[in-house]
Amino acid sequence: MDSGLATPHLPAISIVENLSDDDRALLSSYGEFVSYQPGQKIFEEGESYDELIMILSGSVEMSRKHENGILTLGRAGEGCCLGEVNLFHPSPTVSTATAVEFTQAWKVSSANLEDFLTVNPVAGGNILVGIATQISSQLAQVHACLLKAQMATLEASFWA
């Protein structure tokens, strides 16, 4: 008897957009679909975290403790990944991730992702390229912000 319930599958977005339907269905089974309520912490600054989270809907605010309170670093929305750097460089998280609105995501442990890469190296390679592309984009944004701040400091010291 058919229960009428469908097994969720990853949509063709972000780091998995170049995978076939079958590969995305298989990858879906290596992780879990989760939801977060507004204000719910996904992870906290300083925690050890070894999962990759891909936001499917909603948004997450990234923040960091600062001597004057909490510094908002930015927001991540549909298709953005969290925890991707820790897959390659395990270390405590540098920020806190908090759901801003009802957020649905898919998360996978680094061990399960490694298992998928072993079982399906071609699809795994596509995922790694997607992750590298996303990290590169984030790095370019950080570089632009640093350059802007450096130029503002130079201008201020020039006119002082």
Residue 40 lies in a domain: yes
Nearest Cα to 108, choosing from 22, 16, 5, 21?
16
Domain range spanning residue 83? 14-110+118-159
- Euclidean distance between CA atoms 75 and 30, whole angstroms: 26
Please tell me the predicted confidence (pLDDT) of residue 89. Answer: 85
Residue 1 lies in a domain: no
Q: What is the pLDDT of residues 21-33, one digit of tens each?
A: 999 999 999 999 9
Element (H, E) at 106: strand 103-109
Q: Is residue 136 situated within a structural domain?
A: yes
Asked if the structure places residue 5 within a domain, the reply is no
pLDDT at residue 5 is higher than 90: no
Report the CATH number that the domain containing residue 149 is assigned in CATH.
2.60.120.10
Look at residue 126 and tell me if it is in a domain.
Answer: yes
Side-chain half-sphere of 127: how many Cα atoms within 13 Å?
A: 23
Q: Give yes or no for a contact between 13 and 27, defined as CB atoms under 8 angstroms apart.
A: no
Instruction: Examine residue 6 and state whether it is found in any structural domain, yes or no.
Output: no
Q: Would 153 be classed as within a structural domain?
A: yes
Q: What number of other Cβ atoms are within 10 A of residue 124's Cβ?
A: 19
Q: How many CA atoms lie within 13 A of 75 on its CB side?
A: 10
In a domain, 93, yes or no: yes
pLDDT in tens, 129-154: 999 999 888 888 888 888 888 888 88
Q: How far, in Å, CA of 95 to CA of 78, rounded?
A: 19
Q: Count of domains in the chain?
A: 1
pTM of the model: 0.86
